[in-house]
Amino acid sequence: MTTISYTCDNWIPVKGEMKDKISTLLREITERYRNPDQVRLWMKKIPPIEADGVIMERWADESLGSGFTGICLLMGQLDYLYPKNGWDIVGHQYLERIRMVVEQKGVHDLSLYSGLAGIMLAIYSLSRKGTRYQGMLDALASWFEEAALQSLALHRIEWEKGELRMSQYDTISGFAGVGRIAMLFLNRPGMQMVWEQTMDLFHVMCGEKNLNGHTVPAWHISSEHQFQEDEKLQYPQGNFNLGISHGIAGPLCFLSLSALHGVDASPLMNDIHRLGKFIHHWRVQDVEGIIWPGRISFGEWLDGQLLSGSTRNYRDSWCYGVPGIARSIWLAGQAVHNEEWLETGLSAYLDIEKRLHRKGGLSSATLCHGIGGLLHLVQRMYSDTSHEQLGRIRDRLLEDVLDMFDANSLFGFYDHSLLDGRLAEVDEAGFLNGSAGVALVLASLIGDQNPDWDAAFLIR
């Protein structure tokens, strides 16, 4: 296997008056994050989320999505922008809280958003391009490598039996996210092994299996392995998940980025073709442009067409909308030199302009399912393509995000969440659904340097 270094270096920052406006707003937001213990105390007072009768806390110290770990990404960006303002010291305080959790409780999760992979990304973000925290990174990397290689072997046995779960392969919990973090440390032989074996594992997922007498793609997820009870009822014969957070767009991004790092093995290229062809096929040409359903039911797959309501209540979110899925097909087009996929990915982004009058169906400024996430993915595509229309879309989305700032919020921006059956404004501190993620997008927009943190989104 041959490898070369691939980096997406182009970045088109915001300039002029808008840059000054962002800088002013960032000062107000980020001062709220100076004391990690105060942030934690505030978050512990926020009501938990209840779904399917399960209570889920909004804060977990070691979580990239909603804890100290994700806030470290913001501290790293602030340290780059304002190296004399002490944000590296604040970031160190956040890392100390994470270290105490690791020492006291251990980390029993490899994942990007709840486990060891996310912690390694946090430390990397604060390391000033690898010049700091090498001892901590080396210790955790050895732990990570051993655990990942064991897990990869176990998953392979299960997958070869047709026992595939979304949480094993996806971006949030699975090896798409874990494998992407391994790619940040390929100077280590152990990380190289994790990376290579993750590609081998996904080769199993990109195969086929027998289901009720039908030969189906192996990434079919059975009803019993859906995350939520309502999904189990909605998809009694299972489905094919397309989203970048929990669906096959995540593995497609990982495999495409692996190819763009120089891997030219034919199994990898075949797997990219297989996933890319599937995603490309299920695009919909709507009156508002190219969109994708988040999931394809088994019945729809058998019939070869979607039911009429499959794209109802569409949102331009990172997790299940056009920004994530179109980015995956665009990266796949780059990896295998498929001009049609490149055109589809770019056209889907340009079509987002047709939905800006309703903010792409989004109501909050946050990253996972808010305008902040859409803004950043448009910014990434704009920087990669220099397409002027994407620049205009970016600027309009930026104005929308800035208008959502609320000084009365604990952290500057509200997430919108269902509480007692109604959509409520909720204070969230973290990266994925909170103000830290919004501030990180804004801070990245005024920096001249291409940011590394969005490896967590699998879009680069």
Domains, the chain, in order of start with CATH, read: 107-206 (no CATH), 208-361 (1.50.10.20)
Measure the CA–CA gap between 30 and 438, rounded to whole angstroms.
11
Q: At 250, is the pLDDT very low, low, confident or very high (cuts 50, 70, 90)? A: very high
Residue 319 annotated as binding? yes
DSSP single-letter state for residue 244: T
Using alpha carbons, select from 30, 108, 126, 29 the residue that is nearest to residue 62.
108
In a 13 Å sphere around the CA of 400, the CA atoms on its Cβ side amount to: 24
> Average pLDDT of the chain?
94
What local confidence, expressed as pLDDT, does residue 4 receive?
A: 39
Ramachandran angles phi, psi of 287, nearest 5°: -60, -25
Tell me what pLDDT residue 3 has. Answer: 40
d(C-alpha 371, C-alpha 19), whole Å: 18
Three-class SS state of 80? helix
pTM above the 0.75 mark?
yes
Cα–Cα–Cα angle for 78, 79, 81, rounded to 5 degrees: 60
Q: What is the pLDDT of residue 9?
A: 78
Is 8 labelled a binding residue? Answer: no
Asked if pLDDT for residue 244 goes beyond 90, the answer is: yes
Give Cβ neighbours of residue 139 (< 8 Å, ≥ 6 apart).
none
Helix (H, G, I), strand (E, B) or coil at 208: strand
6-15, 28-37, 187-196, 428-437: least confidently modelled range? 6-15
Count of CB atoms situated within 10 Å of the CB of 448: 10
